[in-house]
A = this chain, B = another copy of it.
């Protein structure tokens, strides 16, 4: 392997902008969610994902894959949210291994209260700053990068077996600003 292809100045700018913007934005969103609704960012994302899925439910592994989170971490958070009544577990009749996380009515209600402010913040801090062309570049460029990383080698398999328990095709983008 020859010489490293270092980043040029514009790539360095892009890289720091990417990581810094993400960190700052995510931090703001978390602060707001915690302060106003006692929710963590992950909890919001879980609810947003579930809200967009058929019957408002997803299998644990599928959900973990969609959120890019570890399985054990998801188990923990679903446990917390179950205590709070935001989510409920349901086991799958046809496959005793599978567990579904289901968004409760209470969870849905909280999500609907939290979503407006959340989305508004994303808009103010991100989309109001970007030109339409830049929005498209994000969607296209980063979308393609994400797709390749999700499939390509090294991806933590989330193997989508089309088992009889239903199951969503991976691309369910929630309406409530997942």
By the criterion CB–CB under 8 Å, are A5 and B120 in contact? yes
**A140 in the interface (beta carbon within 8 A):** yes
**A7 in the interface (beta carbon within 8 A):** yes
Looking at the complex, which one of B16, B122, B143, B173 makes contact with A173 (CB distance below 8 Å)?
B16
Looking at the complex, which one of B123, B130, B146, B156 makes contact with A21 (CB distance below 8 Å)?
B146
Looking at the complex, which one of B4, B17, B28, B136 makes contact with A116 (CB distance below 8 Å)?
B4
By the criterion CB–CB under 8 Å, are B20 and A68 in contact? yes
**A168 in the interface (beta carbon within 8 A):** no
Selecting from A78-86, A102-110, A147-155, A159-167, the interface stretch reads: A147-155
Which residues of A line the B interface, CB within 8 A? 4-7, 10-25, 27-28, 31, 67-68, 115-116, 119-120, 122-123, 125-127, 129-131, 133-146, 148-150, 154, 156, 173, 175, 177-178
14 additional A-B residue pairs with CB within 8 Å, beyond A16-B146, A18-B22, A134-B140: A4-B115, A4-B119, A5-B120, A10-B139, A12-B173, A12-B175, A14-B138, A14-B142, A16-B178, A17-B145, A21-B143, A129-B145, A130-B145, A137-B141
